[in-house]
């Protein structure tokens, strides 16, 4: 397996007594390989039902794994199939395996395995009407598992398997095109896929007391490929219902035509950055997100500001007026946009960037002046959202450079606790998230590892995700 594993789902679950010494390990040490563990783990398809389905018929493929008796605490499974030949209709964890790995990912806000999201993404490449939540695109079944009990907030022990054990079943419905079609893990030896880099793959995560993380999955080989042969033109009825994507509930700050909506943050007097996600509620609206010294009571309180304007573009404030990007950035109602602002209070300037879903970062403006009325402000400590028309929702506001938060502190409240774990689990597989602690463009087990090594228990925290996940921009 390649050393850089962006797709790695390494769930190093909390065993405080056993791994207390790991909390002092440097982040740069977290990703080294250790010779003490052998790279002998395997993924396979040990069982297939109905290898020769008729069009409209179903085939069930079982995912299996073998760890060579080495204990693991979690893993990623990525399975590739041809959407022109097959449709994923179900994914079902095997009960015996789930007794050891109680959490399957991604999860809903209640910690429930979110199979509608997996099915929708794998089948159509769209979830809740947006392709942004399906970073691997259609034709990929992507899920993870972890030795963690979401209901009790307790971890469970690492488990090893000396023989192939069944993890989950995948049910596919055959389409009308006849002939063979391949289902395989990503990656699989001898099978290339130009749409995926070598670092986006399936993984198994083992842990030792001397080195926190080792991926023990060897490159999948022959048993990781299944060929189904769609062999008959006799149709069978389609399923009576299609999977329904369920929105993940959340509690973002939503601005209307009332000032005073927003939140304070640690006082800033120098250079720093902020990031947040904003979703406009209308196609032609007037909504603004800005920073101020104290809660804003009017537009003139905002030193920095980005807005969704009535002409359908996203703008930024520069001194006495709003300006468009050199190439105007348009917006769509109900779509989430990720913003980043780099701020210099000493020079009273800032730069603003926005990343539309499924696109690259766009520059709204660089070295722009604070609003004229705030040209001499000496500190900023509050973010605000206001919509003169329509509504504007803001989530995942995060302070960046200039504020020293502990790695793993996703909600930037000064503690690394189970709330941060909830944010990580909610945003698993996404990139523009406060839980992307190592900034490697995907939220995965490496980020969990950072959370794990910096965890400080909080008696009141619970791992309940509180907001919808941000827009992903994975490979």
CATH architecture of 16-230: Sandwich (2.60)
What is the chain's mean pLDDT, rounded?
75
Is residue 44 within 8 Å of residue 61, measured between CB atoms? no
Residue 62: predicted pLDDT: 92
Mean pLDDT of 31-45: 64
Least confident of 131-140, 164-173, 451-460: 451-460
φ, ψ at 119 (rounded to 5°): -65, -45
Strand order in the sheet with 42-49: 42-49, 58-66, 165-174, 86-93
Whether 142 contacts 151, CB under 8 Å = no
Q: pLDDT at residue 78 above 80?
A: yes
* Cα 106 from Cα 121, distance rounded (Å): 12
The CA distance from 196 to 16, in Å, is 37
The CA distance from 381 to 369, in Å, is 18
Question: Are residues 411 and 423 in contact, defined by beta-carbon separation less than 8 angstroms?
Answer: yes
> What mean pLDDT comes out for the span 403-429?
70
More confident residue, 232 or 163: 163
pLDDT tops 70 at residue 457: no
The token duo for 126 is: 């769209």
Residue 214 has pLDDT above 70, yes or no: no
Residue 102's closest CA among 74, 76, 63, 71?
74
Max Cα distance, the chain (Å) = 76
Phi/psi at 201 (5° precision): -155, 180
Least confident piece of the model among 7-21, 82-96, 439-453: 7-21
pLDDT at 376: 95
User: CB–CB of 179/60 below 8 Å?
Assistant: no
Checking if the pLDDT of 247 tops 50, the result is no
Mean pLDDT of 196-221: 61
Give the separation between CA 342 and CA 391, rounded to whole angstroms.
Answer: 25
Per-position b or e across 365-381, b if 16+ CB within 10 A of its CB: beebbbbeebeebeebe
- Separation of alpha carbons 142 and 159, rounded Å: 22
Mean pLDDT of 341-364: 88
**Top-ranked range on mean pLDDT: pick from 151-160, 301-310, 464-473:** 301-310
Q: In the prediction, which pLDDT does 95 show?
A: 92
Q: What's the rounded mean pLDDT across residues 441-447?
A: 72
Model pLDDT, residue 414: 60
Both tokens of 121, joined, read: 């993404």
Domain map of the chain by residue range?
16-230, 253-399
Question: Which tokens hold the place of 336?
Answer: 């989430």
**Mean pLDDT value of segment 154-171:** 89
Q: What is the CATH number of domain 253-399?
A: 2.60.120.200
Q: Is the dihedral of CA 375, 376, 378, 384 positive or negative?
A: negative
Go through 301-323 and write b for each residue having 16 or more CB atoms within 10 A of its CB, e for each that does not.
bbbbbbbbbeebbbbbbbeeebe
Rounded mean pLDDT of 34-62?
Answer: 80
Q: Which residue has the tokens 């909080």?
A: 458
Among 87-91, 228-232, 240-244, 372-376, name the one with the lowest average pLDDT: 240-244
Tokens of 233: 């033109």
């Amino acid at each position: 397996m390649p050393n850089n594993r962006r797709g790695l789902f390494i769930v190093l679950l909390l065993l405080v007594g056993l791994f207390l010494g790991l909390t002092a390990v440097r982040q740069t040490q977290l990703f080294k390989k250790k010779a003490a563990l052998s790279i002998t783990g395997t993924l396979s398809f040990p069982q297939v039902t109905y290898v020769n389905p008729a069009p409209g018929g179903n085939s069930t493929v079982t995912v299996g794994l073998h760890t060579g008796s080495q204990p693991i605490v979690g893993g990623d499974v990525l399975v590739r199939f041809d959407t022109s030949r097959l449709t994923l209709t179900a994914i079902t964890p095997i009960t015996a395996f789930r007794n050891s790995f109680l959490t399957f990912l991604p999860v809903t806000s209640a910690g429930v395995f979110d199979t509608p999201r997996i099915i929708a993404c794998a089948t159509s490449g769209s979830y809740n009407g947006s392709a942004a939540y399906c970073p691997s695109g259609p034709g990929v079944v992507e899920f993870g598992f972890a030795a963690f009990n979401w209901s009790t907030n307790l971890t469970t022990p690492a488990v090893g398997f000396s023989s192939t054990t069944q993890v989950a079943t995948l049910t596919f419905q055959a389409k009308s095109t006849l002939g063979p079609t391949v289902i395989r893990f990503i990656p699989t030896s001898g099978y290339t896929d130009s749409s995926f880099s070598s670092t986006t793959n399936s993984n198994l995560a083992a842990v030792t007391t001397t080195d926190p993380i080792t991926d023990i999955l060897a490159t999948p080989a022959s048993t990781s490929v299944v060929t189904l042969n769609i062999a008959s033109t006799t149709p069978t009825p389609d399923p009576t219902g299609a999977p329904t994507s369920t929105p993940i509930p959340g509690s973002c700050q939503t601005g209307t035509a009332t000032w005073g909506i927003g939140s304070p943050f640690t006082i800033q007097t120098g250079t720093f950055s902020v990031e947040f996600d904003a979703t406009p509620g209308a196609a032609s609206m007037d909504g603004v997100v800005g920073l101020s010294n104290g809660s804003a009571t009017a537009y003139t309180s905002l030193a920095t500001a980005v807005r969704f304007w009535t002409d359908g573009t996203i703008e930024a404030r520069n001194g006495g007026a709003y300006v468009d990007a050199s190439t105007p950035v348009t917006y769509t109602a109900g779509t989430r946009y990720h913003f980043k602002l780099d701020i210099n209070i000493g020079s009273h300037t800032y730069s603003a960037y926005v990343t539309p879903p499924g696109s690259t970062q766009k520059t709204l403006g660089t070295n722009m002046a604070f609003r004229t009325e705030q040209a001499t402000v000496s500190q900023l400590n509050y973010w605000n959202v206001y919509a003169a028309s329509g509504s504007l929702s803001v989530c995942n506001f995060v302070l960046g450079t200039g504020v020293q938060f502990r790695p793993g502190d996703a909600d930037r409240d000064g503690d690394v606790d189970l709330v941060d774990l909830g944010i990580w689990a909610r945003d698993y597989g996404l990139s523009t998230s406060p839980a992307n602690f190592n900034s490697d463009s995907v939220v995965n087990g490496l980020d969990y590892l950072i959370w794990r090594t910096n965890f400080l228990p909080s008696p009141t925290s619970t791992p309940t995700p509180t907001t919808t996940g941000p827009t992903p921009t994975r490979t």
